[in-house]
Amino acid sequence: MTFRSVIIGTGSYLPEKRMTNHDFSQDLETSHEWIVERTGICARHIAAIGEYTSDMGVIASKRALEAAGLLPQDIDMIVLATSTPDHTFPATATRIQAKLGISDGFAFDQAAVCSGFVFALATADAYLKQGMAKTALVIGSETMSRLLDWKDRSTAVLFGDGAGAVVLQVQEQTDRGIIGSLLRTDGKGYNDLHTDGGPSTTQTTGIIKMHGREVFRNAVNCLGEAVEEILKIHNISQNDIDWLVPHQANKRIIDATAKKLGLPDAKVIHTGDDQANTSAASIPLALDKAVRDGRIKKNDLILCEAFGGGFAWGSNLIRM
C-alpha cells in the first residue's frame, strides 16, 4: 500500500501593522531604492505588542483547518517551525495545541531558521508515513522583529513577522501529496547568520548578525543544487513544475533559482515585496496566498525551497 501525506488545507496570518521602506529613512541611513534594488522588499508586517508567535500560529492554523473542513480535534500532531518561540521552553507548539483546544496527540517545535518549514514538512511527512499520526498541522510562525537591531541597516530592513500553516493528512493510493524532501546542513556557516545570544551562552535571545554577501553566495549555490537534485532523485523534469514556492529572503536569490530551473517568473510565487523575510513562515504564507488567489490548484506540482542559518537548506516536491 502506498501512503502519501497530502496538503488538504492552507492558512496564513499577517500582523495588522505594515511598515514600508520609507518608515526607516528617519532613523537609518538607507533608502527605499536601495532596499528594493538589492532585495525586492517594499514592506513588512510587524507583530503588535503582546502578539506572540503562538497567537499568529493559532490564527493561521484555524484558517488552514477551515479550508480543510476539519476541526481542531481532528489533529493528532503539530509541528511548529520557528526560531522565535514564545519562551525558551516549553515548545511553543504545545501552547498552540492548548489554544486550539487539542489535548490528544503530540506537538513539538523544529528549529531550522529560514528552512524551518521545509524541514517541518519533511518531518511531519515521515511521522505520518510511519503511522505515528494521521492528520498534522505543520506551521511556520515567526516574530523576527523581536530579534532585530533596529539601528543595523544591514539586517533591520530584511525581516518581517507572520505565520502560515498547512493541514497534512495521510492518504492511501493517491498521486497527490509530498513526493519527496531533500534536507541539508553545513555548520561551517554557523557564524555567517546567527543571533549573538542564547540561553546557554549569554542567557539572552541575542540579535541577528549576518555576513550578507557570504549568505547570498552560499544560498544561490546550495539552492541551485537542492532543486536540481530533488528533481533528479524523483525522475521529474523541470518542465513539469507548475509553481516554485520559494523562501522569500531576497528576490535576486529566487530569480537565480528560477533561472537554474528554466522557470519563467510567472511560475514563481513572490511575497517578499510586501512581507520581507518571515523566516520559517515565508513558504506557507506564499503557498496560502497562491492557493487562495486561485493560482495553485489541486494536482499542481509545486517545488518549495529554502536556505538560511546553520547553514540549513532543502526542498520539498509536492503534488497539491
Q: What residues are annotated to the active site?
A: 114, 247, 277
**Residue placing its CB nearer to ligand UT7 in the complex, 102 or 157:** 157
Cα–Cα distance for residue pair 69/305, rounded to 1 Å: 28
> Is-cis flag, bond preceding 311, omega within 30?
yes
CB-CB contact of 286 with 227 (8 Å): no
Q: Cβ of residue 31: shortest distance to ligand UT7, in angstroms?
A: 6
For residue 255, give every residue at least 6 positions away whose Cβ sits within 8 Å of its Cβ, in sequence order, or none: 265
Q: Which residue, 77, 73, 69, 54, is CA-closest to 125?
A: 77
The smaller minimum CB distance to ligand UT7, of residues 64 and 258, is found at 258
Q: Which is nearer to ligand UT7, 68 or 223 (CB)?
A: 223
Long-range contacts of 232-238 (CB under 8 A, 24+ apart): 233/180, 233/182, 234/179, 234/180, 234/317, 236/179, 236/301, 236/317, 238/262, 238/263
CB of residue 38 to ligand UT7, shortest distance in Å: 4
DSSP 160-181: -EEEEEEEEEEEES-S-EEEEE
Residue with Cβ nearer ligand UT7 (107 or 193): 193
Closer of 8 and 253 to ligand UT7 (Cβ): 253
Nearer to ligand UT7, 78 or 114 (CB): 114
Looking at residue 234, the DSSP 8-state letter turns out to be T
DSSP string, 294-320: TSS-TT-EEEEEEEETTTEEEEEEEE-
Cα-Cα-Cα-Cα torsion 196, 33, 253, 192, nearest 10 degrees, comes to -20
Q: Are strands 3-13 and 161-172 parallel, antiparallel or unpaired?
A: antiparallel
Q: Which residues bind ligand UT7 (CB under 6 A)?
A: 30, 34-35, 38-39, 114, 153-154, 157, 212-213, 215-216, 219, 249-250, 253, 277, 307-308
Please report, in angstroms and rounded to a whole number, the separation of the first and last CA atoms in the chain. 20
Residue whose C-beta lies closest to ligand UT7: 212
